[in-house]
A and B are shown apart, each in its own frame.
Chain A
Amino acid sequence: MKVALKVNGVQRHVDMAPLARLLDALRGPLGLTGTKEGCGEGECGSCAVFLDGVPVNACLVPIGQCDGCEVVTVEGLAAAGHLAPLQACMAEHGGAQCGICTPGMLIAAEALLRRNPDPTPVEVRTAIAGNLCRCTGYERIVQSVLHAAHELRSTEKGAAE
């Protein structure tokens, strides 16, 4: 099945079995290996990507449903070779260890900050409730997201002044 979709702002085409997963398309023909496969059954969130602006598990989306859709992966969060503040904070504050969960965590956190630029620690934990991490114990991830939120608010405030 021929599918046309926009990936990280670029129009792309794939030709795959309709029930192949969006995850297979991203990591295979589209060459975007930032998105990870953890459990492959919607439990761990490491394959999270934005699909038409909403975070979903790419392992549960058949490519046949993606025609005409817009996808943003972890690669789409960084701009012009620079890490986004959220990514930089994850690296700086110990939110990333082995790294398998990190792309999904970043998508979940990005989705939160787009809607809620000043989240509480509980709101961060709720936002990443579908993302499993076996290294950090989550505390560093939550702190990283809170740092990023603070940084983004400061930047925005600076830009407004």
Chain B
Amino acid sequence: MSLVDLPRYEFARPATLDETCAMLAEREAKREKTVLLAGGTDFMVQVSQGKLASDPLPLVVDIGRLDELRGVRLDGSRLRIGAAVTYLELQRDPIVREYAPLVAQMTHDIGGPTIQARGTLGGNLATASPAGDGIAAIAAYDPIIEVQSVRGRRRIPMAELQTGYKATTRAGDELIVAIELPLPAHGAAWCWRKVGTRLAQAISKVALGAVAEVSGGKVGRIGLAIASVGPTTSLLPRTRALVTATPLANLTAATVDAVVAEDVSPIDDVRSTREYRVHTAKAVVRGFLRELGAPV
């Protein structure tokens, strides 16, 4: 879109989280639309292509620099990641690399370096695309998503965040402040597996984030999440239940495949087919279980 055609969006850069919440509350009360802007990697494409609903024009609020949304903190067995921390910052953060290696590994497969420098987990969660790689990676940890508004702070379990395609339970006056990962035991098994036309830039056909604690041939805690196999990030509840209820040695490829097939509901689209995605979802889950010692 040429500059001449660019709609005259209003733009605000509040200095604090409180100021941002007050602004959102006021807009919401008047039923006026607001767009929260962090890294802009999705939003700016929509603006440039004229795909953003512009009648009425939303207020664009820059939250990328808010201190309250920045930084990574380890708090006992919980890792707290600010919603506006970039993928590049996660990639280079020694705490993330040590305690949440799956998250650090995932960042390498998001776009290319210039996208990693701008994109954020908060943005990925708010956009709530089922193809969001960042969501699949953190969802393996069963995180809590912290949202804030003038009404206070609310903690949303990952399983209760997404309600449908690009839809979440976050209210219009709430913004995502942080992601809290309840960490598995240090040294727990993990895997990140993205399948796309290429690793850089490509949007996933299937992407698996997985963590597991294994002891005495049995899986205690397991977290599995797959992107691009349904309207929301798939958390594979039936597969998790099977794996924790069955000694690894007793798992078979057939039983695993059957529950994975029940857990995913992909579609045919421009990037892949339903058939390929179901096949690949089974394959990546079995690949992880093989690493844990299952004969699948």
Interface residues of A (CB under 8 A from B): 1, 16-21, 24, 28, 40-43, 45, 48, 51, 54-57, 59-62, 64-65, 67, 108, 111, 126-127, 129-131
Of the stretches B39-47, B143-151, B253-261, the one at the interface is B39-47
- A61's partner among B11, B44, B49, B199 (CB-CB below 8 A) is B44
Query: Are A54 and B49 within 8 A (Cβ)?
Result: no
Closest CB of chain B to A97's CB: distance in Å?
20
Kindly list chain A residues whose C-beta atoms are within 8 Å of the C-beta of B6. Answer: 17, 19-20
Given contacts A17-B6, A20-B3, A54-B88, whether A65 and B112 have CB atoms under 8 Å apart is no
Please encode chain B, from 49 to 65, with 1 for each CB lying within 8 Å of some chain A CB and 0 for all others: 10000000000101010
Kindly list chain A residues whose C-beta atoms are within 8 Å of the C-beta of B117. Answer: 51, 54-56
Closest CB of chain B to A129's CB: distance in Å?
3
Can you list 29 residue pairs at the A/B interface with Cβ under 8 Å?
A16-B3, A17-B6, A17-B9, A18-B9, A18-B11, A18-B60, A21-B44, A21-B48, A28-B3, A40-B48, A41-B45, A41-B49, A43-B201, A55-B117, A57-B115, A59-B44, A60-B39, A60-B40, A60-B118, A61-B118, A62-B60, A65-B37, A67-B13, A108-B113, A111-B113, A129-B200, A130-B111, A130-B114, A130-B200
- B44's partner among A60, A111, A127, A129 (CB-CB below 8 A) is A60
Query: Are A45 and B112 within 8 A (Cβ)?
Result: yes
Kindly list chain A residues whose C-beta atoms are within 8 Å of the C-beta of B108. Answer: 126
* Sample of 19 more A-B contacts, CB < 8 Å, known A18-B11, A62-B60: A1-B11, A17-B3, A17-B9, A18-B60, A20-B6, A21-B44, A41-B48, A41-B49, A42-B114, A43-B201, A45-B112, A55-B117, A60-B44, A62-B44, A64-B11, A64-B13, A129-B201, A130-B114, A131-B112
Q: Does B31 have its Cβ within 8 Å of any Cβ on chain A?
A: no
Q: Does B8 have its Cβ within 8 Å of any Cβ on chain A?
A: yes
Residue of B nearest to A130 (CB): B112
Closest CB of chain B to A55's CB: distance in Å?
5
Query: Are A129 and B64 within 8 A (Cβ)?
Result: no
Interface residues of B (CB under 8 A from A): 3, 6, 8-11, 13, 37, 39-41, 44-45, 47-49, 60, 62, 64, 88, 108, 111-115, 117-118, 199-201
Complex CA–CA separation, A78 to B238 (angstroms) = 58
Kindly list chain B residues whose C-beta atoms are within 8 Å of the C-beta of A131. Answer: 112
Complex CA–CA separation, A108 to B49 (angstroms) = 26
Interface core residue of A16, A21, A60 (most chain B CB under 10 Å):
A60
Complex CA–CA separation, A64 to B11 (angstroms) = 8
Complex CA–CA separation, A32 to B38 (angstroms) = 26
Closest CB of chain B to A105's CB: distance in Å?
12
Query: Are B62 and A19 within 8 A (Cβ)?
Result: no
Query: Are B60 and A19 within 8 A (Cβ)?
Result: yes
Kindly list chain B residues whose C-beta atoms are within 8 Å of the C-beta of A56. Answer: 114, 117-118
Kindly list chain A residues whose C-beta atoms are within 8 Å of the C-beta of B47. Answer: 19, 62
Kindly list chain B residues whose C-beta atoms are within 8 Å of the C-beta of A43. Answer: 201
Kindly list chain A residues whose C-beta atoms are within 8 Å of the C-beta of B8. Answer: 17
Given contacts A43-B201, A129-B112, whether A65 and B48 have CB atoms under 8 Å apart is no
Kindly list chain A residues whose C-beta atoms are within 8 Å of the C-beta of B37. Answer: 62, 65
Residue of B nearest to A49 (CB): B114
Kindly list chain A residues whose C-beta atoms are within 8 Å of the C-beta of B88. Answer: 54
Counting from the closest, the 5 A-B pairs by CB-CB distance are: A130-B112, A18-B11, A129-B200, A60-B44, A54-B117
Closest CB of chain B to A81's CB: distance in Å?
28
Query: Are B3 and A24 within 8 A (Cβ)?
Result: yes
Kindly list chain B residues whose C-beta atoms are within 8 Å of the C-beta of A61. Answer: 40, 44, 118
Given contacts A17-B6, A18-B11, whether A65 and B40 have CB atoms under 8 Å apart is yes
